[in-house]
Amino acid sequence: MKKTSKTLLKISFSGSKANRVIEINELIKNKKYKRVVEVFGGSCCISNNLKRDNIVPEVVANDYDKYFDNFEYHINYKEKLINQLIELGFEKSKRALCEDQKEKLQNLIIKIQDNKNLLKYLSKNFVFSAVRNMGDIKVSDFSYFMNDLSTKQDREFYINLKNVHLDSLDYKDFLQKYITFNDRNTLIIVDPPYLNSFQKQYSNGTYFGLCETIRLLKIVKQLKNDFIFFNMIEKDSIELLNLFGFNYTYNTKNTNASRNNIREDFLAYITFDEKESKRNTCLN
Ligand SMILES: C[S@@+](CC[C@H](N)C(=O)[O-])C[C@H]1O[C@@H](n2cnc3c(N)ncnc32)[C@H](O)[C@@H]1O
């Protein structure tokens, strides 16, 4: 598989698909799409990488969580906090902080207790991975001092993100605004909260159980644009796609959701081109 010479643009985000970007490049390399529309943006890393690598000329992503509102401030906040902690004698470690240090850390961040996105952004360095993946983060979850303390990667990600057109809408409105029927030049990226995960609902998001996932697939079927669909369990995802009679190829990877939690990560490439074969040799 061809590798890009540049390093991937990525930031820490629960459910990030940065590790599938090279595979997506490979899948669409002969298609010459003019536009990619990422409906459940999350970290918006797919659009950001495809645009930076000139795979498509135009990208639009749905920052439904408004994660990138004030992101520059969030990066600066992290830098300042890390420096304060180092001055107080904190040392990076995989072990939980002692009670005294935990208290100092939580006192420092108490003022941002209502800023969900900032707490989420900081959590990679301060919150145990299994807790990070469970939903909203609280100040009382901050009990570690770990992982990459630098903000270099985040700044690079954010600088490139200026080239991605961001919006923030419910997925149905977003599709209505950016997708036209039977558009062969656009690829839609569909990565909803997973059907089988605990996190069926991100903060303020729709509850993505079976009904909502079916509703979503019904809409994209009607729109007839090629799309990439992510979900969790391969067997369930295949059943769903077959139910709709889609023409697709797929690949499933095992991903470390947290330290002791390996889960399936299903990706399917659905096309509406009748000549497209059922299987694509670059998969599996
Ligand atoms: C699995 S994550 C997407 C991760 C993303 N592909 C990435 O690589 O970072 C699903 C995203 O959908 C968002 N979401 C939840 N309900 C939504 C809705 N009704 N409309 C649009 N987005 C929604 C969540 O907030 C979350 O950011």
Protein residue whose Cα sits closest to atom 25 of ligand 1 = 202
- 267 SS3 class: strand
Mean pLDDT confidence for 149-170: 98
Topology of domain 18-67+156-271, CATH = Rossmann fold (3.40.50)
Give the residue among 41, 102, 111, 101 at the shortest CA–CA distance from 77: 111
Where along the chain do its domains lie?
Answer: 18-67+156-271, 71-154
Mean pLDDT confidence for 125-134: 88
| pLDDT digit string, tens, across residues 40-52 | 999 999 999 999 9
Protein residue whose Cα sits closest to atom 24 of ligand 1 = 202
Residue 169 has pLDDT above 50, yes or no: yes
Residue 8 has pLDDT above 70, yes or no: yes
Rounded Cα distance between 200 and 192, Å, is 9
Protein residue whose Cα sits closest to atom 22 of ligand 1 = 40
Residue 190 has pLDDT above 80, yes or no: yes
Q: What is the dihedral of CA 184, 68, 198, 133, to 10 degrees?
A: 130
Alpha-carbon torsion (75, 79, 85, 89), positive or negative: positive
- pTM of the predicted model as reported, rounded to 2 decimal places: 0.92
| pLDDT digit string, tens, across residues 203-249 | 666 788 899 999 999 999 999 999 999 999 999 999 999 999 999 99
Protein residue whose Cα sits closest to atom 17 of ligand 1 = 205
**β strands within 142-246, DSSP E:** 165-167, 186-190, 227-231
- Pocket lining for ligand 1, CB < 6 angstroms: 13, 15-17, 40, 42-43, 45-46, 62, 64-65, 170-171, 191-193, 202, 205-206
In the predicted model, what is the mean pLDDT of the chain?
Answer: 91
Read off the pLDDT band of 199 (50, 70, 90): low
Rounded Cα distance between 23 and 251, Å, is 9
Pocket test for ligand 1, best of 17, 167, 202 (most atoms within 8 A of CB): 202
